């Protein structure tokens, strides 16, 4: 069966869990929200803020955020652990900044970033997952505030993980968010598993310019047909059809890397985001691809 952990070649991931002292780690997710009633996500939400419609109760009317949260922290409860996320005991802080069509704005993201900074100490937020991209349509001055907020979050110890976007494979197709030096920008690649897919995600994963000052993406992870939590309504004849679905893209790859970073902080709660970044990149497996396609290579959580 297709599992997130199988695609990551995480045959040693259990070793990481066995040696882990289970220090609670919180991952903040800025996305389309979360389905609070999904059995794999119950009890994980520490805080929720709706920056789109102002609703108080967690929800997800697009489905993307629920899938991302499942990749990171799904318990796998309804599937007997088969479709568990990377770090099943992580806690979540959710900022809904995308509407039911998956659209958002720089202003909403800025509001959400300020909210995350207010909560970071109270909820021990160590990782921020941004599985969304920005196109070229934003003006530089609109992005300036986001860049400043992201830098502030980084300097306050939050590991920021952002999607490279799905506008590749041309050079310079990485999301504007991902061009920030203080962000781990994640591209998509299936490594040796590429042959299993007719349209693997590396064919459209955002790529950097060879001449850019900051060489991007930083790292790649699997992102093709990733099975994770499905937002309501739960329809289907099987457990899988009701509660799970497949999605592809750098969003899924980003969530996988965020989960790996959360695992790192569980095992090493006193370490900094700078050290986590070094371990993440220095232990990546070189795929032999161009830098602007693979960065340092495939994420390698067991070595990390």
Supply the residues annotated as catalytic: 31, 64, 251
Q: Which two tokens stand for residue 279?
A: 């371990």
Q: Is 234 left (phi over 0), alpha (psi -120 to 50) or beta?
A: beta
Separation of alpha carbons 164 and 208, rounded Å:
9
Nearest alpha carbon to residue 65 among 282, 232, 268, 274: 232
SS3 content of the chain, % helix, strand, coil (to 5): 35, 15, 50
What does 222-262 look like in DSSP terms, one character per residue?
A: --SSEEEEPPSS--SSSHHHHHEEEE-SHHHHHHHHHHHHH
Q: Give the C-alpha distances (Å, rounded to integers) separating 66 from 37, 71, 270.
A: 10, 9, 29
Q: Give the C-alpha distances (Å, rounded to integers) separating 186 from 75, 129, 238, 281.
A: 24, 11, 33, 11
**DSSP reduced 3-state for 45:** strand
Q: Give the C-alpha distances (Å, rounded to integers) separating 254 from 14, 122, 127.
A: 21, 25, 12
Q: Hey, how many other C-beta atoms are within 10 angstroms of the C-beta on 138?
A: 14
Q: Give the C-alpha distances (Å, rounded to integers) separating 289 from 32, 54, 220, 285.
A: 32, 44, 11, 11
Q: What is the pairing mode between strands 226-229 and 244-247?
A: antiparallel
């Amino acid at each position: 069966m297709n599992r997130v952990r199988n695609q990551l070649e995480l045959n040693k991931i259990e070793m990481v869990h066995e040696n882990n002292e289970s220090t609670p780690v919180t991952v903040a997710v800025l996305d389309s929200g979360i389905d609070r009633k999904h059995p794999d996500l119950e009890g994980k939400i520490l805080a929720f803020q709706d920056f789109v419609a102002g609703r108080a109760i967690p929800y997800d009317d697009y489905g993307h955020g629920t899938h991302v949260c499942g990749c990171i922290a799904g318990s796998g409860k309804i599937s007997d652990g088969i479709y568990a996320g990377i770090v099943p005991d992580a806690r979540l802080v959710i900022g809904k900044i995308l509407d039911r069509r998956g659209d958002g704005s720089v202003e909403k993201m800025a509001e959400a970033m300020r909210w995350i900074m207010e909560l970071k100490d109270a909820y021990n937020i160590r990782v921020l997952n941004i599985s969304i991209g920005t196109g070229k349509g934003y003006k530089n001055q609109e992005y300036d505030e986001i860049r400043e907020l992201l830098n502030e979050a980084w300097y306050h110890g939050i590991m920021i993980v952002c999607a490279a976007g799905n506008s590749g494979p041309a050079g310079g197709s990485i999301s504007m968010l991902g061009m920030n030096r203080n962000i781990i920008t994640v591209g998509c690649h299936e490594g040796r598993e590429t042959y299993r897919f007719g349209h693997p995600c590396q064919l459209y994963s955002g790529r950097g310019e060879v001449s850019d000052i900051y060489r991007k993406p930083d790292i790649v992870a699997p992102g093709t047909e990733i099975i994770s939590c499905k937002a309501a309504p739960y329809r289907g004849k099987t457990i899988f059809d009701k509660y799970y679905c497949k999605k592809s893209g750098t969003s899924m790859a980003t969530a996988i890397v965020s989960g790996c970073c959360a695992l790192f902080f569980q095992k090493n709660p006193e370490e900094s985001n700078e050290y986590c970044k070094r371990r993440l990149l220095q232990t990546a497996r070189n795929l032999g691809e161009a830098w602007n396609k693979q960065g340092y290579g495939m994420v390698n959580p067991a070595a990390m």
